[in-house]
Amino acid sequence: MFTIVESLGYTLFGNVSVFLLKMLKCDVALTFTNLLGVIDLNKTMQRTMLAVSLAAIMAVAACSNGNENTKSDAENKKATNTTSNATSNTETVSSEPLNVTMTLMAGSKTPDSWAEHTLEEELSKAMNRKVDVQPIFLPDWSELNTKINLMMSAKDTRPNILWTGDTKEFSKWVEAGIAQDLTPSLQKYGKDILDYYTQDTMFYHWDKSGKIFRVPGDVPEASYMTTILRKDWLDNLGLQEPKTLDEYVNVLRAFTKDDPDKNGKNDTYGLSGDNYYRSLAPFFYAYGIDVENFMKQDDGSIKFGALMPQVKTVLELLQGLYKEGVLDPRMTTSANNDDGKVNDIFASGKVGSFYRWVDYFNPGNSTTISFKKLNPTGQYISIDPIQGPDGFSSDMPDAQIGWCYLIVTDTIDTDSAVQVLDTMAKPEVFKQLAFGKEGEHYTMNKGEFVPTIQPEEGSKLGLGNFGWIMQRKDAANIKNTPEVTEMFTKKIETSQPMRDKIVVFKAIDRPEWDKYSADIKKVRDELFWGIITGKTPVSAFDDFEKQYLKLGGKQIDEEAVSLFNTQQEERTAYDAWYEANIVPYK
């Protein structure tokens, strides 16, 4: 059992977006990337004029920006074969100054910040050469892909290190030679990266050619959600922590009907959450099903989880609980997809249970702070996953695939780029970039992270600007209390049963899924939430598989089976490759 610590803290990161870049360093020539990062790249006239101007400037520039490839693949391979396991990260490709451009999406996007200068100092020390970091702050999410694709369209506008989300353009970049193979450089300079990411995680970023063209920038914890209950309500009603689904349902009913907060009003709900199926995980997962993914069957086949017969049983149970008022009606509407709204519901203290974030148990979590202000004696706890009728139980696993990626483009030598990334992956460097300097920006009080600055000051310092670039989720993330770190570790085990069942597809390109899935998910959601709210009879589920096939499910199934079988073969080849090419360098 874990109890939320009743103390307050500050959140270091703000949401202020600033889009400025350093235009010129005293020791380097002005580059295309410097200027194109701060002008509107959509304006053809500006780009043309800029190109003419830069041609003149660069013709007389006396110093190199250090961003061209200096080694061929053959030379890199030769260097790798002659490098021992004891190779030090202080070895350098060149003693010339290095200017490295990288796209950034996280944090306050503060230019010329303390964090940026700190990173430059750490890189210069680690690489034995002067390093100038030149951030390119990306626009908001609505314009992100347009900006990235435009930057990547020409060599003189490409960043050296690209942060990007899951994009269909990746395979085109590989085919065009824009994304470079990092394997030889990781062997020489990437020990911290190779040590941090697991063999499973690296598989999903490995190319069947035996190369690594991208590394994950941020991989979530193996499991980051948990079943949360009001411990003070359990005590008020004389109830024990539920272990089985029947016990859990009885507790939810009591939280709804038996005045658990003792205020004499009928104003509480048993369960709430957002309008995603993850909020209903204690029910679906108790039956070993996930309606969002393909699932392995006992006979070795795979099937879309929403079609499995146990789904009908769960929907019928949920329909009954909704009718009784146990389920918060707000979670059944798409308007409740906003995290902020659900956080407000959590903080209000009128709901007994959620399937929600482990991070809520950090005392500095803003939602936890709000909850304690409104409910000084309130207490939430995390419990083990709920057991179904046959004893199965599991927390929700993460796929261990990076939700964002780092690509080293053809504008820099890979050895230099990997040295930069590996330095950023070091725990001591990561902590500075994320949290600042101990004793100046925060203190550690009995293992608990205590900020000594306000969030606004953290934003000005640029703390978090380099988030999602080699983002660590282990003990280096000192924001987590030891209790929360232990909880995350335990979740690796409690989420394994469903990790063994869910099919995670390695392939980025799934044309049949892309073509038909939107319509299928629309029908699924209307049907499932219709059943839950009582607007649709439970028997309507019986026709769902026919609808699925009619809407393109047959093509999706055939594609899924083919990808799954191919992936199984790739995994065998990958494991042998990993043993030979990665293990000796960890």
Name the pTM for this structure.
0.80
Residue 298 within any structural domain of the chain: no
Position 282 scores a pLDDT of 98
Q: From CA 34, how far away is CA 37, in angstroms rounded? A: 6
Tell me what pLDDT residue 338 has: 86
The answer to whether residue 419 is domain-embedded is yes
3-state secondary structure of 404: strand
Q: Please give the tally of structural domains in the chain.
A: 4
Q: Going residue by residue through the chain, which has 586 residues, state the pLDDT in tens, using 9 for 90 and above.
A: 444 333 333 333 333 333 333 333 333 333 333 333 333 333 333 333 333 333 333 333 333 333 334 344 434 433 443 333 333 444 445 779 999 999 999 999 999 999 999 999 999 999 999 999 999 999 999 999 999 999 999 999 999 999 999 888 999 999 999 999 999 999 999 999 999 999 999 999 999 999 999 999 999 999 999 999 999 999 999 999 999 999 999 999 999 999 999 999 999 999 999 999 999 999 999 999 999 999 999 999 999 999 999 999 999 999 999 999 999 999 999 888 888 999 999 999 999 999 999 999 999 899 999 999 999 999 999 999 999 999 999 999 998 899 999 999 999 999 999 999 999 999 999 999 999 999 999 999 988 899 999 999 999 999 999 999 999 999 999 999 999 999 999 999 999 999 999 999 999 889 999 999 999 999 999 999 999 999 999 999 999 999 999 999 999 999 999 999 999 999 999 999 999 999 999 9
- Could you identify the residue written with the tokens 């270091």? 12
> Is residue 558, in this structure, part of any structural domain at all?
yes
Q: Same domain, yes or no, for 365 and 228? A: yes
Q: Are 379 and 4 in contact (CB under 8 A)?
A: yes
Same domain, 214 and 230: no
* CATH number of the domain to which 186 belongs: 3.40.190.10
493 CA to centre of own chain: 20
Tell me, yes or no, whether 421 lies in a domain. Answer: yes
Residue 399's pLDDT is what?
87
- Under 8 Å between Cβ of 21 and 37: yes
| Residue 244 resides in a domain | yes
Enclosing domain of residue 315: 224-291+304-396+477-500
Beta strands, E only, 400-545: 404-408, 442-445, 448-451
Residue that finishes a domain, picked among 16, 50, 83:
83
Residue with tokens 């869910």: 502
- Which amino acid makes up residue 22? K
> 540 and 440 in one domain?
no
Q: Are residues 436 and 377 in the same domain?
A: no
- Identify whether 92 is part of a domain: no
Same domain, 321 and 214: no
Spatial distance between the Cα atoms of 492 and 264, rounded to a whole number of angstroms: 41
d(CA 213, CA 180): 6
Res 93: pLDDT? 55
